[in-house]
Amino acid sequence: MKEIAAVIKEQFKHAGIIFRMSRYEDKATYQSHYLGLAWQILNPAIQIGIYYLVFGLGVNGNRKVDGVPFIIWMLIGITAWFYINASVLGASNSIHRQVGMVAKMKFPVSILPSINIISNLSSYIPMVAIVVGSLFIAGVTPSIYWLQFIYYFLAMVIFLFAFGLLNATITVLIRDYHIFLQSVLRLLFYVSGPIWDINNRNMPVWLIKILRLNPFYYLIEGFRDTFLSRAWVWEKTTYTLIFWCLTLMLLILGSHLHMKFRARFVDYI
């Protein structure tokens, strides 16, 4: 627990650096593009259009899901997925990509995954605004359930930090791990529910129960529960406990490995 406390303390102590570097990272990524930061919205919008044509109009036949048009249902889930996917992959490669710079500056390596997670908010927040606007257009009115967004957002950020710290450390130790993680995320995209409802698939009940244990599925369905006013978080007590137990395990393991090896990160790279 001392290692967890040390890592978390570093995040709060260097919060100013985290936010400043996240803004710099946004500008540096798109500075040579004519449309600049607009690509943070255009890129996911293009992907959403493709997924809607294939899965919405093609596979689903444009039928409603949970009482709303498929495009609205998909938009809620895929917005969360885009942020999760970008943050997991970016955080996993953050230390390996910038450890040389850190070696010359005085701030802890543990904040690098946080910088990436915060940086991705610049595209996530406008996408959430689009989701809310789409819900209004579809006739979905705000309800008290929408207050749960705060819980699920914090749960998502905490999970991404715990998972990102572990992934970033392993990537430095085993370079092939990042490529492996990319393949795993491609698989998780199809079984976590951003583009189709796994509960309505012709799959065995036991398999559906296993897929529900997926933390990504928990977060994606949580945002749908929130915006579509379907259920409260305490109505899913078992899955909530599993999610937080898994997050704590990732944080314990990630903090331990990070503190054990970070003095030698430059040597490994």
* Residue pLDDT, tens place only, 202-255: 777 777 788 888 899 999 999 999 998 888 999 889 999 999 999 999 999 998
User: Which neighbouring-strand residues pair with 68?
Assistant: 65
If you average pLDDT over residues 61-78, what whole number do you get?
79
Contact in structure between 169 and 95 (CB atoms under 8 Å):
yes
Give yes or no for residue 260 having a pLDDT over 90.
no
Contact in structure between 116 and 94 (CB atoms under 8 Å):
yes
Domain boundaries, the chain: 6-25+34-268
Tell me what percent of the residues of the chain surpass a pLDDT of 90.
26
Q: What is the pLDDT of residues 164-212, one digit of tens each?
A: 999 988 988 888 888 899 999 988 888 888 887 777 667 777 777 888 8
User: Which neighbouring-strand residues pair with 55?
Assistant: none
What's the pLDDT at 240?
93
Q: Measured in Å, how far apart are the chain's first and last C-alpha atoms?
A: 28
Contact in structure between 114 and 85 (CB atoms under 8 Å):
no
Contact in structure between 137 and 192 (CB atoms under 8 Å):
no
Give yes or no for residue 151 having a pLDDT over 90.
yes
Lowest pLDDT segment from 100-104, 118-122, 145-149: 100-104
If you average pLDDT over residues 79-103, what whole number do you get?
83
What's the pLDDT at 242?
95
Per-residue burial over 151-168, b = 16 or more CB atoms within 10 Å of its CB, e = otherwise: ebbebbbebbbbbbbbbb
Give yes or no for residue 67 having a pLDDT over 80.
no
What's the pLDDT at 244?
96
Lowest pLDDT segment from 36-40, 53-57, 118-122, 130-134: 36-40
Q: Which residue has the higher pLDDT, 106 or 3?
A: 3
**Up-side HSE of residue 73: CA atoms within 13 Å toward CB?**
17
Query: Mean pLDDT, the chain, as a whole number?
Result: 82
Q: Which residues lie closer than 8 Å to 76 by C-beta, 6 or more apart? A: 131, 220, 223, 224, 227, 228
SS3 breakdown of the chain: % helix, strand, coil, rounded to 5? 80, 0, 20
Q: Which residue has the higher pLDDT, 56 or 70?
A: 70
What's the pLDDT at 101?
65
What's the pLDDT at 17?
83
Amino acid sitting at position 9: K
What's the pLDDT at 193?
81
If you average pLDDT over residues 1-8, what whole number do you get?
83
CA distance 135 to 102: 43
Confidence band, pLDDT 50/70/90 cuts, at residue 60 = low
What's the pLDDT at 207?
78
What's the pLDDT at 146?
93
φ, ψ of residue 197 to 5 degrees: the values are -85, 105
Per-residue burial over 12-22, b = 16 or more CB atoms within 10 Å of its CB, e = otherwise: eebeebbeebb
180's tokens: 């492996």
Contact in structure between 126 and 41 (CB atoms under 8 Å):
yes
If you average pLDDT over residues 92-118, what whole number do you get?
78
